[in-house]
Amino acid sequence: MAGLALVLNLAKKNPAVYTQSVHSHHVFSATLAASAAAAATAAASWPFASRSIFGNGGIPIAFCDTGAALSEDYIPNLHSSSEELWSTSVTYIPKEYPVELKPLFSAFGPKSLALTSVRSFLLFYLPLLEPHPPVEEDDDDLEDPPENKHVDLVTPFKKSVKQIARETTVVTVRRVLERLAVHYVSQRMAWKLLKDIRKSSRRKAERDMSTPYFVFSVSRTTFRGHMLGVAASWIVQIGVDAYRCFIRKPEDDLLVDGKEKIRMFGKKVYATTIKCTASLVFASVGAGICALIHPSTGQWIGCALGDFAGPVIAIICFEKLHLEI
């Protein structure tokens, strides 16, 4: 059939040759065409088993309509069919997973460092501005008068500097983990770990999802996107605990042997792991629930609240169960 189609295509492109060759031979007359069609119909009506004995009448016949015009609808166009198949396969575009890496030292940028500094100083200096209740004049237990009480401003400053160093270290460690994820995991998984959670929640809100599935989807996305941040916090806290247990030497360090230090360090690792796990879980759940209020802002607020409340809830639960943490 493919050979017949090619011959007909050539005949269609050269109609003069086709007309001349057809009309110059008497074998393509109307009578012979009618008799050939009748013989072909009779041969096709024979049973299959009898064809091996009697044959097909001695003349191989191919079904064709001799009176039909050579048109595009009648003659199969192999070129157009192949073009259609090729265009269908080429127009299929697979899903892409663009991964955008932030600068390695983005935590030391002017804007990020300024926000971190303001937040840290407010965290340790705002408690000094709390109003104190008035004290009665005849209170003999009071050693120093309130007006003569010295306010320590150096200790909050040291704590603020340590907090700034801690937060910038956590962000830098996260950037290192992001680069490791890009190099050592699949592109799809790296995209899930590094994509913007707020934009993803906004895109999910535009889809036709049921409420339970939307909450679950946002929680799952937050869990993946918040995982590297929690892992960076865990690594930094473990480093601080290792420094306090093995490198720094307090006054009572001579009373603690090596085995006791290892045991204390193991307890600190266990407590840090529990707190970080609770932070990740509650941040994901809070983001999914608060995303119902607003897909973007609600997700961010829920994630922050869950991140803060997770360790506190874990400590309270362990105290209720009389377990050490």
What's the pLDDT score for residue 214? Answer: 93
Give the DSSP per-residue string, 146-193.
Answer: GGGPPPP-HHHHHHHHHHHHHHHHHHHHHHHHHHHHHHHS-HHHHHHH
- pLDDT of res. 246: 83
Burial label, 181 (beta-carbon count in 10 A; 0-12, 13-18, 19+): buried
61: left (phi over 0), alpha (psi -120 to 50) or beta: beta
Q: Which of 12, 149, 135, 115 is nearest to 71 (CA)?
A: 12
Tokens of 298: 């609600």
Report the C-alpha gap between 40 and 60 in whole angstroms: 8
pLDDT of residue 165: 94
Beta-carbon contacts of residue 182 (< 8 Å; ≥ 6 apart)? 99, 101, 190, 194
What residues have CB less than 8 Å from 102, skipping those under 6 apart?
Answer: 175, 178
The string of pLDDT tens digits covering residues 261-292 is 888 899 999 999 999 999 999 999 999 999 99
Rounded average pLDDT per 10-residue block, the chain, 325 residues: 53 49 44 47 47 45 44 48 51 65 88 90 81 55 53 86 94 94 90 90 89 94 94 94 81 66 90 94 94 92 93 89 75
pLDDT at 24: 45
pLDDT value for 153 = 81
Res 233: pLDDT: 95
What gap in Å lies between CA 199 and CA 205, rounded to an integer? 10
Tell me the whole-structure pTM to 2 decimals.
0.65
Report the alpha-carbon distance of residue 173 to residue 236 in Å, rounded: 8
